[in-house]
Amino acid sequence: MDNRSIAQLLSETADLLEISSGDPFRIRSYRRAAEAVESTTVQISAIAGDAKKLQEIPGIGKGMASNIQDIEKTGSLPLRDELLQKYKPTMLELLKLPGMGPKSVALFWEALQVASVDELEAAIAAGRLKDLPRFGEKQIEKLRKGIEDYKKNSGRFLIDTGEEAAEKLIAYLREFPGLTTIQPAGSLRRGRETVGDLDILVTGPACAEDKVQAAVDYTAAYPPIANLIAKGQNKVSFILRSGLQVDVRLLPEASYGAALQYFTGSKMHNVSIRQRALKRGYTLSEYALAKVDDGSFVAGATEEDIYAALSLAWIPPELRENNGEIEAAEKGTLPKLIEQSDIRGDVHMHTNATDGRNTIREMAEAALARGYEYIAITDHSKNLAMTNGLDDARALEHVRRIREVDAEMEGRIRVFPGIEVDILGDGEIDLADETLAQMDVVVASVHTLFNQPREQMTERVLRAIENPYVRILGHPTGRLLLRREPFELDLPTVMRRAAELGVAMEHNAYPDRLDLSDRDLRLAKELGCKISVNTDSHHTSHMEKMRYGIRQLRRAWLTKEDVLNTLPAKQFLAALRPRP
DNA sequence: GCCGTTTTCGGCCCGACTGTTTTCAGTCG
């Protein structure tokens, strides 16, 4: 079993323990172990036979090592099975609703025998929550909205989950001789935040009509398949253990480009493209672009051929949403979209001084290895007590250490001192101005403000960015996809003021918290609001998540010029709001 | 349940915020 699945089982056990009001420290151990398994570079299944080796991983002790061995052997662990006798697996789903924690899940179960999102929805509709302690009108309304939102998104997976699943499957398919080109299409290729299912296109000599059956059989034998839905001439559909549905299509080389174009979508883009084809006497299908009158082949081997035959420049998949990209492709005015290699620095990251995993030096080395020219270390401030946030004294001491590391790196990479401060309930920043004055990068973070009316929220954020030391507004929408609704914040007003003040807007690149939607990003550009795309890395390995942020920027038509951290170090600092 | 040591057990990141409380529980990061 892969690390992620093991981590998931441990984490589920922690959730179940919490619902059963188990020992909080024991619960934390399971959570820590889950995190350790997820973030370690060691492949757990490879060393599962050796309890000693397992215990070398920090956070894994004797008991946890034995739990992991049980997981490898049986696919579960005794404690989890035991708890699942008492509670239902669907209760874990309830925890995903905003405002729902283990105590509420336990309460609903004990008082109402409600154990799933559907049952909760029915209970709310029937007014059965009214007599419950702690549940007044507002709480019930919040839950109702939360369920609505959850249902809208459920069934979809975050892009990184989709991408990982795709990469594994592609690696498997590559083992089969004669499959030369294997590529994901659909929303994964378009770089959407979430994917509903995976479309994988395959071609090569082994996909020729008389040979394809062997490749189809091989695909259908992919070990992680939980449920094979269909196996036909050139298509295999299945559901993975994770619940993700996958469609693999094996196509002859001549129609590969047509298929890629067709299955990449989006639907609206394809409708427009096909209309355009018809106007020119062509018809476009997933097999080819052909003449309407005699059906003769025009193009199909590559996407470029097809677009060119329609007098269009090739359109990057991220733009294919029928938002003017076809007109731009016709006129030759498609933007040169930002690329990952344009990014020169990542200016929001944490170290083990607070809740990060690595030292300043380790973060700097990892960033250097990625080819960055600079980073900013922005650990948490004291308000986030749970992260061991820095008070003024510790923050200043941290600045000193960051400067030391900066010197140690001898110019190979710059390491800027910074901090991620919280915006408090009154719009104040939780550290003194004298402390902030020592920082190159002050990220004022919205993420601790919750559940507030839109006006109040907006007012506090506006107040916070008036602080002259604040240079970047962090987590501007506090958006955690599939988990919570976006903050109620008057974003245009905030962006307008940020633009006036020269405060940059952060776009968090992390897949589950891509802060700004395509629309938000376009709006920022329109309003002249500067954008910095950061990973908020808590571990050296998190820096690679930058690519998801870049995809999102591309979807919003942004170019290198629209993003601050494509600038060299000095210009980057100069482009931020001037310090008092 | 882990860790570190005091080698056998005690300590383990906690403060803000909300809604429903009439003094606080639950959730969040």
pLDDT at A481 over 70: no
| Domain end (from A275, A307, A331) | A331
The domain in which residue A262 lies consists of 258-331
Domain end, chosen from A274, A308, A331, is at A331
- C1’ B23 / CA A248, Å: 60
How far, in whole angstroms, is CA A135 from its chain's centroid? 32
Please tell me which residue lies nearest to nucleotide B25, judged from CA to C1'. A134
SS3 at position A302: coil
What confidence tier does A476 reach under pLDDT thresholds 50, 70, 90? confident
Average pLDDT over residues A84-111: 91
| Nucleotide at minimal C1' distance from the A60 CA | B2
pLDDT of residue A484: 54
Shortest CA to C1' contact from A513: nucleotide: B29
Question: Do both A323 and A371 map to the same domain?
Answer: no
The C1' atom of B10 and the CA atom of A213 lie apart, in whole Å, by: 65
Could you tell me if A497 and A418 lie in one domain?
A: yes
Identify whether residues A184 and A204 lie together within a single domain: yes
**Predicted confidence (pLDDT) at residue A562 exceeds the cutoff of 90:** yes
Q: Same domain, yes or no, for A406 and A447?
A: yes
As a whole number, mean pLDDT of residues A427-454 equals 87
Q: Domain of A29: which CATH number?
A: 1.10.150.110
Q: What angle, rounded to 10 degrees, do the helices at A3-19 and A24-39 form?
A: 170
Question: Are the beta carbons of A166 and A200 closer than 8 angstroms?
Answer: yes
* DSSP 3-state of A398: helix
Of the pLDDT bands very low, low, confident and very high (cuts 50, 70, 90), residue A209 is confident
Q: Is residue A440 part of a domain?
A: yes
State the nearest residue by CA to the C1' of B18.
Answer: A451
* Residue whose CA is minimally distant from B21 C1': A134
User: Nearest CA to A325 among A365, A282, A270?
Assistant: A270
Residue A477: predicted pLDDT: 80
Give the confidence band of A451 by pLDDT, cuts at 50, 70, 90. Answer: low
The enclosing domain of A226 has a CATH number of 3.30.460.10
C1’ B25 / CA A257, Å: 59
Listed as ranges, the nucleotides of chain B within 7 A of a protein C-beta are: 1-3, 11-21, 25-29
Q: What is the pLDDT of residues A484-540, one digit of tens each?
A: 555 678 889 999 999 999 999 999 998 887 778 888 899 999 999 999 999 999 989
In a domain, A93, yes or no: no
Instruction: Assess whether A554 and A410 both reside in one domain.
Output: yes
Asked if residue A149 and residue A6 are part of one domain, the reply reads: no
Nearest nucleic acid nucleotide to A355, CA to C1' distance: B13
The confidence score (pLDDT) of residue A39 equals 78
Nucleotide nearest to A450 (CA to C1'): B17
- Spatial neighbors of A176 by CB under 8 A, at least 6 apart, are A206, A215, A218
From the CA of A141 to the C1' of B17: give the distance in Å.
Answer: 18
Q: Is pLDDT above 80 for A26?
A: yes
Q: What is the pLDDT of residues A256-289, one digit of tens each?
A: 999 999 999 899 999 899 999 999 999 999 999 9
Give strand letter and number of the nucleotide nearest A96 (CA to C1'): B27
Q: What is the CATH classification number for the domain harbouring A278?
A: 3.30.210.10
CA of A450 to C1' of B21 (A): 20
Q: Is the pLDDT score of A464 beyond 80?
A: yes
**pLDDT attached to residue A145:** 86
* Largest Cα span, chain A: 80
Average the pLDDT over each of A2-16, A151-165, A365-379, A446-460 and give the range with the smallest value.
A446-460
Q: What is the pLDDT of residues A121-130, one digit of tens each?
A: 999 999 999 8
Q: Are residues A501 and A438 in the same domain?
A: yes
A490 part of a folded domain: yes
Structure tokens at A449: 């403000």
Residue-by-residue DSSP string for A310-373? TT-----GGGTTTSSHHHHHHHT----B--GGG--EE--B--TTTT-SS-HHHHHHHHHHTT-S
Cα(A304)–Cα(A269) distance, integer angstroms = 16
User: Both A178 and A50 in a single domain?
Assistant: no
Interatomic distance A380 CA / B13 C1' (Å): 13
Confidence of residue A131 (pLDDT cuts 50, 70, 90): confident
- Total number of domains in chain A: 5
Percent of chain A with pLDDT strictly greater than 90: 72
Q: Are A483 and A507 in a shared domain?
A: yes
For residue A342, name the pLDDT band (cuts at 50, 70, 90).
very high
Spanning CA of A151 to C1' of B22, the rounded length in angstroms is 38
